[in-house]
Chains A and B, each alone.
Chain A
Amino acid sequence: MRRLVAGLLVMLLAGCGEAPPEGQAGFAGLGADAEGFRQAGPEVTLRFPGDHGAHPDYRLEWWYLTANLEDAEGEPLGIQWTLFRRAGRPPSSLGEPGPWAADQLWMAHLAVSRGASHRVAERFARGTAAPRAPEARQAGVTVRPFRSWLDDWTLASRSEAPGADALDHLAVSASAGRGDDAFGLRLALDAQGPLVRHGEAGFSRKAEGGQGSMYVSQPFYRVAGEVVLDGERVPVTGRAWLDREWSSQLLGPGQAGWDWLALHLDDGHKLMAFRLRGDDGDVLSGSWIAPDGAVISLGPEDLRLTPLATREVAGHELPLRWRLALPERGLDLEVAARHPERWMPTAVPYWEGAVTVRDRATGEPRGVGYLELTGY
């Protein structure tokens, strides 16, 4: 069975010489044309809590949680919990979907890391945009109450006080492996600040051609709970960052991938910055987020993001040390991966890991965060 499945998947992935393979546009096909889907744009108005849910009329979407944690002895740990949604075709083109319709594909990633240890798991599910009770879905997202899941991996609201945002108090849990190999997490997240809209009121421009995504974050979580790693239960506390992003055409055709940073600075500021690497030059963008949630969008003129050193990880040459400067704010930071071995050997492979932030001049610690590198 394994062999058949492996063979089948290899054939599927390799195209196996039948239907000509679609042109590979951008990382994971994210630059592909998006006919029939809604497009993200500055004119789209965000409405919550509705927009915390799934947007099946957009091609791609994710609920992306990373957390910088430490155990009772202060040893750092990192976790990632992500739910991806990808629409095979727009809901408007659906005929009569059968019970096993697969017009929406779901994928979830789980990673728990400490020191040299980096454990990763992924899950998949089929779904449909057609109406169906939540109990009849292997994966999905509901708004009232907020609940996102694939199998038994869930990210859901713990309590919803009137007037509070649905994402203010969340519980996340997931586990994988068995026995000594088991790893997972069970964490409570409590937001200490408001929801943050990036870019132009939530539209984050990714390419000159107008491609981009709707991009909202909740970067102010305090975290407490328990992580399981190598079969051992570790009580942890720390900070987490949730990204919500949906789009039908994330990248321009010539863009190969991105380098993305989300930093918790010790002074209470949050900093998001990304660089999209393209054939015709890079797109640089970011957000400077005050402790009260006020956002200042950063453009190429405000932001310097320079790789300082690369290193080979899992056969890929990756920039794991960066200089991040906001000259106007007198900020000159050096951001470095805590550990290089954070490659995600998933069906869509990438690098995702915790970073430390230091002042470039003095070397003083200034914060922690997460770095994501794709398309290498």
Chain B
Amino acid sequence: MLEFQGVHKAYATPQGPLRVLAGVDLTLAPGESLALMGESGSGKSTLLHLAAGLDLPDEGEVRLAGASLASLGEPHRARLRRETLGLVFQQFHLVPSLNVIDNLRLQARLAGRESPGWTTHLIERLGLAGRERHYPERLSGGQQQRLAIGRALAPRPALLLADEPTGNLDETTAEGVLALMLELVHEAGSGLLVVTHSPAVAAPLDRRLRLSHGHLAEPPP
């Protein structure tokens, strides 16, 4: 589903180039879930951006759904993102001018894959029933992140990429949101790559990897 081969990535800084990834290899099978852990600034988010085709590696190859992202043009990458991926951000990034139901359906409609039954199901499962016409600003933080997760899962993406999905939530809320996300990923049949620094978030997933000094390694048990 997702494959990194010898991926290098560095950023120019005033203090000289900053190596973030130094030969990362990674394979994620369809339906598999993986937690990517590491300290702040270890390059987890960079890896996620590379996986989503939002950025390109300096060296090595990232393959998503069998296609090498670097060999595709921007419109193709955008299409792949639209149709294959779901993205969940720490800051939610809901569309403030769309109400709950329109936000939820947004990506599915962009991908042309809207399924009313699944949407209704999601609304129920996300606990947002009765709030379809509300605008995001009237939702609590947990509700907003549940909505963001729903939006990412609405087109039943092959892979869900989540960047610190509970980073902005308090602990209790975070647990609920996380549990719901895992259940829904399972229902949707999607693969899952979660970037997190929280062992509690990583624990329920199939695999865990730790990124440090630009390399991936199994975390100490």
Chain A in direct contact with chain B (Cβ < 8 angstroms): no
Q: Which B residues are within 8 Å of any A CB, using their own CB?
A: none
